[in-house]
Structure formats: C-alpha cells, structure tokens
Amino acid sequence: MTEVTRVPLRPIAGGSLVKLWLGVLAAVLLAGGIAWAAMPKGVTVDTVTAGEGEGPQQGDVVFVRYSGMLEDGTVFDQSQPAQWPIPGLLPEGTPMLLEPDALIVGFYEGLLQTQKGGTYEIFIPAEKAYGAEPPEGAPIPPNADLTFNVEIVDFMPEAEARERFQAMEQMLMQAQGGEGGEGAGGAATPPAEGAPQ
C-alpha cells in the first residue's frame, strides 16, 4: 500500500477571510461598473410641463420651440420665432417633418414621446445624435451627447400642413396682385427637415 504524504494546513487568520471576501466583492462591483458603462445609452424624455391629448405620429409636421445644448451647457442651436407672413394660419414654432430620415434618430424618437402643449428635456446619446461625424462646421464635437429643451406648440398631419402652406402662398399671391413674388415661392411647402438633422 502506498502512503500519501500529508501536508499540514495552516489555519486562516481571522482578518484574511474578511479581506478575501472584500476582494471578491470589489471585483464583482468593478466588473458590474464596467459593464454598465459599456451599455449603450438610450434616448430619455423628461417631462417639464405635461402636454395634453395624443402625441405626434410619424409623418406629422410638428411645430416646436427648442434649444440644443452640449454636455457643458453650451447652446449650439435654437429655434427662432416664427415669422409667418400671414398670422394665425400656421402655429408658432419651427415646423419639423416627423420622419426618421428627416431628423437625427434620437430627436425623432424623443418627439414621438411628447404631447401638444408640453415642454420636455430630451437627452440624446452620441450614437443616436451625430456620432463620430457631426455636420461640417457645426459647433458639435465628435461623439457628443446632446440635450434639447423642447416645447411642442402643435402638430398636424403632413397633408394638412401642406394645405395650410399652399393657402398661405395663394393669399400672398393675391395680396401681390396675382403675381408670384419672391416671398411666395418659399412658403409653398413645409420644411422636410428640422434643425436637428
């Protein structure tokens, strides 16, 4: 029969077991933190003032007042007051066609979560904004997360918005004696692209 050599085990010191478990806990927390940081962030919409009724749908023209900011609070873009040549025919605000190819993805996704009359803060992570390639000459650095403060003035189906723009064009032409002046041509159709494109 073969004899097994015995190796005596030393007892674990009282503080060593605690240190071992603290080390394991620290490793688990570190791994969890790294995994959380690596997860892609999504668009978040925080309601500042609640709106009413249904929200806009894809294909609607949304009239908004907005300001876009970088993470440090620098405003890189903001809407200007609407100066429609015939007041009351169109809502105040910048018209934006709510289509995924007309707006940056995050802005499109954020607007779908709003309601008429509400004000919102929309956070858009870089991968749903301009990513590594912002528009040339824009004050937006590569891979920048963006925040937009947005007021939803109104929205309507694209067909209704086009009718109103055409009615405005006809009124302008009539006011100019039936001649198509310089100011009339630009009012025929709503912009297909909003500022955050």
E-only strand ranges, 70-139:
75-78, 94-97, 119-124
Judged against a pLDDT cut of 90, whether residue 81 lies above it is answered with no
* Contact (CB, 8 A) for 194 and 97: yes
Q: Each residue of 54-87: b (16+ CB within 10 Å) or e?
A: ebbeeebbbbbbbebbeeeeeebeebeeeeeeee
Residue 15, judged by CB atoms within 10 A of its CB (0-12, 13-18, 19+), counts as: exposed
Residue with the larger pLDDT of the pair 189 and 23:
23
Question: What is the DSSP secondary structure assignment for residue 85, as one 8-state letter?
Answer: S
The DSSP element (H or E) to which 136 belongs, if any, is none
Domain segments of the chain as ranges = 44-185
Label residue 112 by pLDDT band (50, 70, 90).
Answer: very high
- CATH number for the region 44-185 comes to 3.10.50.40
- What pLDDT is recorded for position 44? 95
| Mean pLDDT (whole number) for 57-70 | 96
Q: How far apart are CA 122 and CA 45, in angstroms?
A: 5
Q: Could you tell me the pLDDT band of residue 181, with boundaries at 50, 70 and 90?
A: very low
* Residue 31: predicted pLDDT: 66
β-sheet bridge partners, residue 124: 146
